[in-house]
Every structure is written in C-alpha cells, then in structure tokens.
Amino acid sequence: MTQTAASTDFPVARALNRDDYRTLVLSALGGALEFYDFVIFVFFVTVLGQLFFPPDIPDWLQQLQAFGIFAAGYLARPLGGIVLAHYGDMLGRKKMFTLSILMMALSTLGIALLPTYRSIGIAAPILLLSLRILQGAAIGGEVPGAWTFVAEHVPASRTGLACGILTSGLTAGILLGSLVAVLINKSFTAIEILEFGWRLPFFLGGGFGLVAVYLRRWLAETPIFQELKAKKALAAELPLLVVLKGHLAGVLVSVALTWLLSAAIVVVILMTPTLLQTLYTIDATTAFIANSFATLCLSVGCVLAGRLVDRIGGGRFFVLGGLVLGAASYLFYTWLPVHPEMLFWLYGLVGLCVGVVGGVPYVMINSFPPAIRFTGISFSYNLAYAIFGGLTPLLVTLGLRVDPLAHAHYVLLTCAIAVLVGITLLVGPRRSAEVALAARAR
C-alpha cells in the first residue's frame, strides 16, 4: 500500500519537544473526558435497562434493548463524523475538534436529567435514544479529529508514538468511567443506584466535557492545515468524493483495522465487566476493579504500540499484534472459569495486548493525503464502527445463547483479519517497488 503521509517543514527525525507534548497532553485530556462521556453508558447498561424499559419483560431482553440504544450511538457516528470531518478539512481541524466535545457535554448532561419509564412511559427510551444518537455524532468527529490533529503537529517519524500517546489518553476516559462505576457501586446500595445514583456519572461527564471545551481554547491549528490553506491546496471538490474516487484501498485497510479496534475495545474492555457478572458469577465491584486494572494496562500498551509501529512499520506490527492479542484474549476467556483467582493477572495481560489498537491510527494517517486526511480517516473509522462496533454487543449477546465462548471467538476472528491486513501492508510496498524497477528496466 502506498504511504502518503504529508511532507512538512518539520525535521522528520527530531524528538518530540515541549510544544508537541503540550499539544498531546491537552488533546489527550480533552479526548479522555469526551470518551468517558461516551462509554459511561455501557458501565450502567444493566441499570438503564431496568429504568428505561417495561419492568415486566425478561432481564435478558431489557439488557439487549439497552445494548441496542448503546449501539445506536455507534450507528450515528458516520453522519456526525463525515460532517465534522468535511468542515475540518475545509475550515480547520481545531474548530471541529472543539465543536465535537461541546455536543458530547450537552448530550451527556441531558441523559443525567432524563425521567425514567416509570415517570413518562415509552417516551423515556425514545429520549434516551435521541441523546445517545447525539453522543454518537459527537464522538464520530472526535477520534479521527484527534488523530489527525496530533499527527499534523509532530514529526513524521514520531507519528506512531504521538497517536499511541493520544489513544492512551482516550482509553484513560474508559478507565475513568470504570473507576467512577466502582465508586458508585461501593458508595450506594443497589436500590439507591436505581433511585438516583445512576445519574451522578452522567452529571460528572457533562461537567468534564465543559472543562474540556475550555481546555481546547489553548490549542493551535495544525501547521499542515495552515500550510495547505496558505498554498490554496485544500480539496477542490467535496473531500468525501475525493476519498471514494481515489483512496478506496486506504478505506478498506482502515475499515479492517477499525474492526479489530472496535472488537478489542467493545468486547474486552466495555462488555467484559457485564460478562464477568453474568457468565463468570463475579460480583460487580470486583469486576469493575479488574476492568480498571485492565484498562490501565491498555493505556500503557497503546504507548508501547505507538513506539513499536514507528520502528517496524504497520505491516510487521499487525502480523505480530494480531497473533499476540488473539492468543491473550482466548487464554483469558478460557482459563478464567478454571482459575478465577487469576482474574487480575489474566485481565491485565489481555488489557496490555489490546494496546495493539494504538498502532491503528499510524496506518490510517499514512493512508490519506493531508487535504482529505480528516475525511478519509473519519469516513473509514466511523463506517466500520457503525457496522462492527454498533452491532458487536448485540451479536455477542445473541451469540452467547448458542455458544458460551462467542465473545472469545469474535475477538479471534478480528485478530485473524488484522494479521491478513498486516501481510497485505508488507506485500504492497514490495509490489510497488517491483513495478518501479520494471518500469526503469524498460
């Protein structure tokens, strides 16, 4: 596959400097707060199922319907992501970067204030669905925007590390959500959580989001976008059309790797606390503490992945990463019933290995030229997340009714796809080199 990373005025081999780290810290902190807002829903999905759906339906159906609303956030991501990315490529990265987090903060505060099914009946899940869709539209622009933003601020030789650090920051939002869930479960009884406790994480999320909006005032527009604007080299036509006409290979690779990312995050990190309670009879507090430890390991893994992918390239990285993650996840889900005392060690190991997702943005950044980069990444990432991320909770929940290891097998499938993508990335440059040599020989 052809690498199309932008040329910039940065010396490509220099280390990250103070300005780079300042940009990374502010971007990652804002992203962590926004990601917290998006994922806190899943940590309370069982409670939301009881509160926002009729009480006389089976528990599994309540949970399935709640996961359905959770999935709606993913299904809304492509539209929000494409719109925000379009203006990000035409008007600037920073403006859309700030707008996305404002949308997230307001929708999360709205969820905190919602009346339940007992108060307003069927209107309750409809309103919850509407706000979840708005959350999805916001996050659809946030993650691709964040990757594009930091990658265009740092030297090309440090793209993987920068994106790994940023992705680590985004996963810190999941860790924050897990810690808040632990605190709520330890501080309140089950009845108190149903009565009012469930609202507190959403109030916190809305407040965090408004803080992040303020923090992003201190970020500067990317040098690459400023250069494109000065040279009048922005996309001459609709950026999405340019992506679809000339960069389908980049889209396919990005979609495949996003499938891996979505499976690893949604199944191993977001769904597993619930699965630990329902499948492995582990109490909620222990499940959330173990999840917090695994997410901390994930954050470390993302940084290590970013560092490694800069050194060995995307092809070798995903061949190795797909094999390692597949082995670790299968080990976790199959050994846990036999060795429950190893919960923290096993979950920490697989959490560290999920860090391979920190290498995904490196490949995506290098798949699209600067003028349409935001749109290319956003379209690919959000399309894949809408299909795979959104349907994963439903597919796994339904699959578990016929296969007790459906969650493990699903992750294994995506790891195999990542290995195939890695092989494709390795073969692609060799073919390009062979064609170039043959042309010169003629």
Determine which of 218-222, 232-236, 249-253 has the lowest per-residue pLDDT on average.
Answer: 232-236
Angle of helix 77-90 relative to helix 93-112, nearest 10 degrees, comes to 150
Cα distance between the two ends of the chain: 23
List pLDDT tens digits, range 55-84. Answer: 777 666 766 777 777 677 767 777 777 777
Q: How far apart are CA 45 and CA 65, in angstroms?
A: 9
pLDDT of residue 7: 38
Q: What is the pTM of this model?
A: 0.79
Q: Are 424 and 324 in contact (CB under 8 A)?
A: no
415 has pLDDT over 60: yes
| DSSP calls for 70-103 | HHHHHHTHHHHHHHHHHHHHHT-HHHHHHHHHHH
Whether the CA torsion 155, 160, 163, 168 is positive or negative: it is: negative
Determine which of 58-67, 245-254, 264-273 has the lowest per-residue pLDDT on average.
Answer: 58-67
Q: pLDDT band at 407, cuts 50/70/90?
A: very high
Give every CB contact of residue 414 below 8 A, 6+ residues apart in sequence: 259, 260, 263, 264, 388
3-state helix, strand, coil in the chain (%, to 5): 85, 0, 15
Q: pLDDT band at 172, cuts 50/70/90?
A: confident
Q: Are 146 and 29 in contact (CB under 8 A)?
A: no
What Å distances lie between residue 419 and 26, 256, 259, 314, 318, CA to CA? 33, 10, 12, 11, 6
Determine which of 141-155, 248-262, 369-383 has the lowest per-residue pLDDT on average.
Answer: 141-155
pLDDT of residue 331: 95
Q: Are 357 and 302 in contact (CB under 8 A)?
A: yes
Q: pLDDT band at 236, cuts 50/70/90?
A: low
Q: pLDDT band at 365, cuts 50/70/90?
A: very high
289 has pLDDT over 80: yes
Residues 130-157 have a mean pLDDT of 82
Q: pLDDT band at 318, cuts 50/70/90?
A: very high
Determine which of 243-257, 403-417, 420-434 has the lowest per-residue pLDDT on average.
Answer: 420-434
Please report where in the chains the tokens 């299909």 appear, as a residue: 387
Q: Are 38 and 139 in contact (CB under 8 A)?
A: yes
- % of the chain residues with pLDDT over 90: 26
Q: pLDDT band at 435, cuts 50/70/90?
A: very low
**Domains of the chain (ranges, CATH numbers):** 18-441 (1.20.1250.20)
Q: How far apart are CA 369 and CA 203, in angstroms?
A: 40
| Residue 174, token pair as written in the block | 């999941």
Q: pLDDT band at 177, cuts 50/70/90?
A: confident
| Mean pLDDT for the chain overall | 81
357 has pLDDT over 80: yes
125 has pLDDT over 70: yes
Q: How far apart are CA 66 and CA 60, in angstroms?
A: 10
pLDDT of residue 93: 63
| Residue 369, token pair as written in the block | 């030229």
Q: pLDDT band at 119, cuts 50/70/90?
A: confident
Q: pLDDT band at 43, cuts 50/70/90?
A: confident
Q: Are 376 and 244 in contact (CB under 8 A)?
A: no
4 has pLDDT over 80: no
Determine which of 17-31, 259-273, 288-302, 357-371 has the lowest per-residue pLDDT on average.
Answer: 17-31
Q: How far apart are CA 411 and CA 260, in angstroms?
A: 8
Determine which of 82-96, 142-156, 365-379 has the lowest per-residue pLDDT on average.
Answer: 82-96
Q: Measure the CA angle with vertex 10, ends 9 and 12; round to 5°.
A: 125
Q: Are 105 and 206 in contact (CB under 8 A)?
A: yes
95 has pLDDT over 50: yes
Q: What are phi and psi of 11, to 5 degrees?
A: -65, 125
Highest mean pLDDT among 168-172, 202-206, 210-214: 202-206
Q: How far apart are CA 112 and CA 388, in angstroms?
A: 27
Residues 301-330 have a mean pLDDT of 95
More confident residue, 232 or 146: 146
| DSSP calls for 251-320 | HHHHHHHHHHHHHIIIIIIIIHHHHHHHTS---HHHHHHHHHHHHHHHHHHHHHHHHHHHHHHHHHHHHH
Where on the phi/psi map is residue 288: left (φ > 0), alpha (ψ -120 to 50), or beta?
A: alpha
More confident residue, 102 or 37: 102
Residues 187-204 have a mean pLDDT of 89
432 has pLDDT over 50: no
List pLDDT tens digits, range 395-404. Answer: 888 888 899 9
243 has pLDDT over 50: yes
Buried b (16+ CB within 10 A) or exposed e, 251-279: bbbbbbbbbbbbbbbbbbbbbbbbbbbbb
Q: Is 101 exposed, middle or buried (0-12, 13-18, 19+ CB in 10 A)?
A: buried
